[in-house]
Structure 1
Amino acid sequence: MHRVSASRNISTHLHNHENLLNLPLELGKVDETRAPRLPDRCERLWANVDDILKNWTRLYLTEEEGERVYLENDPVEDEKNFVLAAQFLTRKVLNVEAIGKTFKLLWKARDGFKVCDVGNHTMLFVFEVESEAERVLAMEPWTYDKHLILLKWYDGKCPAHTLRFSTVKFWLQIHGLPVNRLTFEMAMELGKSVGVVSRLEHRDQVIGGDFLRVQVSIDVSKPLCWGRKVLLGQNRED
């Protein structure tokens, strides 16, 4: 019984295959009564693709819209400003006035600064004095309403919405080292294994009793580092 069934299936398959080969195909013509039909979902998909292609061909600029506008390469600015772009890691609606008042009290900039909302939870802080903007960066990390803020320099050469924020500075404490390893050089080496180490003005800032501390720029798109395995003399692991 199984052999007969198998032979019938094979013969039926060959018969169907032969019918497909014998379809009367001509240039640009197909016998729709005998040709296999695509599922309705596929047909709708192809119809949508055709509509998209047709609409795409209609997109063009008019002669007036196609005229080129030439801009100066180096615009002359009367005043030199120093801008920090800040992205607030929150979904809440931001109030520009409230943010300005909050950070004027925290940053205590003598010459003040302006705040501009550029959308996508991103603000621009415009300083008149570069040292005051640098001081804000050196004192990272900053938070607003218990949410982290990512800061970076912004030179204004690209649209603000194209800015990408990925790093923030944290003070990293390094514990568990022998006393004779609590040195500036050791702090720099271990800090580099986590991120980009910030420049320190005083070497004494590194040693904090029985641990080391260093400021490191960390990629916030990656999980936080919980520790590192350190090989001391003669490959001894601590």
Structure 2
Amino acid sequence: MESSVRDLTTALGERLSLTAEEEVGVDLEVADEVDLASGHSRYCLVGKVLTRKRYNMEAMENTLAGVWRPVKGMHMRVLGQNLFAFYFFHPVDMQRVLAVGPWKFSNHVMVLQEAQNGRRVTTDDLYEVLFWVQIHGLPPDRLTTTSGKRIGEELGRLIEVDDGGGDARGGEYIRVRVAIDARKPLRRGMKLSLRSGQIWVDFRYERLPNFCYCCGMLDHVEWDCELSLDMEAQGRCRRKPDGG
């Protein structure tokens, strides 16, 4: 029924010109100022859960409110099927949530991004997941910010590089914080070309949630994977990407 009404509205809109009343606009910036003065929140994260199964959004709100514990509070609004918004009353509460992710519900990763002023959002717009990725297998002289930046830019949208600061606490790997495209399989590693030849480095994803280790996608597990039966029969299932 909803689809029929939407199709009818679209068809009418294509054939009819706007009336004089329809041409009149409303300034929502003024309304926004009123909302702020009355204490309504304007700091908003929109998101979805990477799963093909239905889930209880009310349970998710209660769970995350208990985990995030925003000082000034928050509330959630359902925008559509597998599409929601979290409203915060202080920018620091919102930024803390973004800084610590990725977050998950029922062990399924969540895609969260800050709402852009005046822009509508659909589930197709939400596809980047922030991960800290450990890069293992680099030679000692390549455990540098420059190496991390080059690899991170190839892996996704680079946010930050942690090379350990060059001291004894740095360890045998470097870390990059990257916004990864969840529409693509997780990468297990990468080939690097050096003067001495090619090497392979392994990626280990910190706080890795459920994912399919047959096809590498984040939105399902191997039990629900359409390719898993054939891949398993042929002995071609991908090994599980390492989690930190």
Distance 1:129 1:121, change over 3 A: same
Q: For residue 148 of structure 1, what is the aligned residue in structure 2? A: 109
Which of 108, 117, 142 matches 1:181?
142
Alignment of 1:18-167 (within 5 A): 67-72=22-27, 74-75=29-30, 76-78=32-34, 79=36, 81-161=42-122, 164-167=125-128
3-state SS, counterpart of residue 228 of structure 1: strand
Which of 192, 197, 209 matches 1:230?
192
Q: How many residues align?
A: 181
3-state SS, counterpart of residue 187 of structure 2: coil
Distance 1:91 1:205 in 2: 41
Amino-acid identity (%)? 30
- Give CA deviations for 1:194-220 in whole Å, capped at 9, x if unaligned: 1111136x7637975111111111111
Question: What's the TM-score, normalizing by structure 2?
Answer: 0.64
Distance 1:198 1:169 in 2: 9
3-state SS, counterpart of residue 189 of structure 1: helix
In structure 2, list runs of 5 or more residues that go unmatched.
Answer: 1-10, 200-244
Which structure has the greater CA radius of gyration? 1
3-state SS, counterpart of residue 193 of structure 1: helix
> Would the aligned equivalents of 1:84 and 1:152 in 2 still touch at CA under 8 Å?
yes
> Would the aligned equivalents of 1:198 and 1:215 in 2 still touch at CA under 8 Å?
yes
Distance 1:107 1:195, change over 3 A: same
Q: For residue 27 of structure 1, what is the aligned residue in structure 2? A: none
Question: What's the TM-score, normalizing by structure 1?
Answer: 0.65
- Give CA deviations for 1:55-94 in whole Å, capped at 9, x if unaligned: x79x855997974331216334231611000111234444
Bigger relative CO (Cα 8 Å, ≥ 6 apart): 2
Instruction: Could you list the structure 1 runs, at least 4 aligned residues long, displaced by more than 4 angstroms after superposition.
Output: 59-66, 205-208
Distance 1:128 1:117, change over 3 A: same
Distance 2:176 2:18 in 1: 60
What amino acid maps onto 2:27 in structure 1? E
- The alpha-carbon deviation at position 109 of structure 1 amounts to 1.1
What amino acid maps onto 1:181 in structure 2? R
> Would the aligned equivalents of 2:128 and 2:182 in 1 still touch at CA under 8 Å?
yes
Q: Which has the higher strand share?
A: 2
What amino acid maps onto 1:138 in structure 2? A
Instruction: Tell me whether 1:214 sits opposite 2:176 in the alignment.
Output: yes
In structure 1, list runs of 5 or more residues that go unmatched.
Answer: 1-55
> Would the aligned equivalents of 1:96 and 1:115 in 2 still touch at CA under 8 Å?
no
Distance 2:43 2:153 in 1: 28
